[in-house]
Amino acid sequence: MSQGTLEYPRTGPFPNTRWRRPNRSGNTDPRTGVVSPPPLGAGFLCPLGRKCSTPRFPATSMPAILEHQRFVVHIDVLGMSALVAKDPELAWGLLSQLVEARKDAHATSMTFLDTAETVTTPEHVQAVTFSDTVILFSRGAGLNDLRIILVMATQMLSRALHLCVPIRVGVAVGTFFVNLDESMYAGPALIEAYHLGETAQWIGIVTSEEVYRRAIEAKLQSGSSDVVAPACIPIDGGSRPGYAVNWPVTLRNSILAPLPLTAQQVYQGFARYFGSFEFLDLRTRQKYENTAAFMNARAQ
């Protein structure tokens, strides 16, 4: 072993390849042969013999985590993968309706009665669509951000149902990094929102416990009902305790059919894409059974 160079065994994905890391500090202990770590940016030799620099990040390139606290919403379409495989043209039509629902929900303004403040959604919430997924995220994690993101998530569900698009929604709050120029999105809040929505076997809006806690703390209500409330969330193989937006209450004036509803009534608008209810597999039927049960229990 030469002074200042650490040589790795000839193993790894490339046979007979020697991996060497220059020790720019030159601090090899002559008694033990232990090499001290090189300084940041010292570089590595890749299997092709080229020098690969360790990137140096300017101190200002990674803002404080607290500056990236946001509400994040993950929305996807039930049954989209199977529809794409069966009829791509029909799936494209359904996706187009999803985009219309997003545009309608995003192009809104609202006035908060307690403060008389009027805000427009595009100024506070960003919407991104890829494939059958829509991501919504707020500018921050304050009270107005909470109000606006919950209103838009509920409006998105309302418009999607009006256009016969079955969606499920997850809402979380936490760290979420964004680079709009490079279409880069990452953070625990997105992962949590994804899992909340994807595991729920229904049409509905599931929230994290923290979103529920903040909504209760802010006393967000529709009439005398809390906007976010504890709920039994249907999942594969059963259910789990959780929290959901009380959308049958907040959208009570949009539900024209008399209650109680059946699963067939909930589903009938989607038959144009997925076929007759009687021919659905049991797992898919159960999603509409779960939706009908939630609507009947909450909207009474």
When mean pLDDT is compared over 8-17, 55-64, 101-110, 188-197, the highest value belongs to 188-197
pLDDT at 17: 38
pLDDT at 6: 36
Q: Where are the beta strands (DSSP E) in the chain?
A: 5-7, 20-22, 44-45, 51-52, 69-77, 109-112, 117-120, 125-130, 133-138, 167-175, 177-179, 184-186, 204-207, 221-222, 225-226, 228-235, 238-245
Whole-model pTM? Answer: 0.78
For the stretch 182-192, pLDDT in tens is: 889 999 999 99
* pLDDT higher than 70, residue 53: no
The token pair at 262 is 């059946």
Domains and CATH numbers, the chain: 1-56 (no CATH), 68-298 (3.30.70.1230)
pLDDT at 50: 52
Q: DSSP class of residue 1?
A: -
Q: Which range is least confidently modeled, 31-40, 169-178, 229-238, 265-274?
A: 31-40
Q: Tell which wins on pLDDT, 64 or 189.
A: 189
Strand 117-120, strand 184-186: pairing: unpaired
| Mean pLDDT of the chain, nearest integer | 83
Asked if residue 93 lies in contact with residue 134, where contact means CB atoms within 8 angstroms, the answer is no
pLDDT at 299: 72
pLDDT at 31: 53
The token pair at 26 is 């030159």
pLDDT at 114: 74
- Residue 72: phi and psi, rounded to 5, are -130, 135
Please provide the DSSP assignment of 117-138 as one string.
Answer: EEEEGGGTEEEEEETTEEEEEE
The candidate with the shortest Cα–Cα distance to 235, out of 278, 276, 206, is 206
Asked if residue 91 lies in contact with residue 80, where contact means CB atoms within 8 angstroms, the answer is yes
Share of the chain above pLDDT 70, in %: 77
For the stretch 93-147, pLDDT in tens is: 999 999 999 999 998 887 877 777 888 888 889 999 998 999 999 999 999 999 9
The candidate with the shortest Cα–Cα distance to 205, out of 257, 149, 140, is 149
Q: Which range is least confidently modeled, 59-63, 120-124, 143-147, 155-159?
A: 59-63
Work out the average pLDDT over 80-105. 96
Q: Give the residue ranges of DSSP H helices in 169-239.
A: 188-199, 209-217
**Quick check: bond before 234 cis, omega within 30?**
no
Q: Helices 209-217 & 143-162, crossing angle to 10 degrees?
A: 110
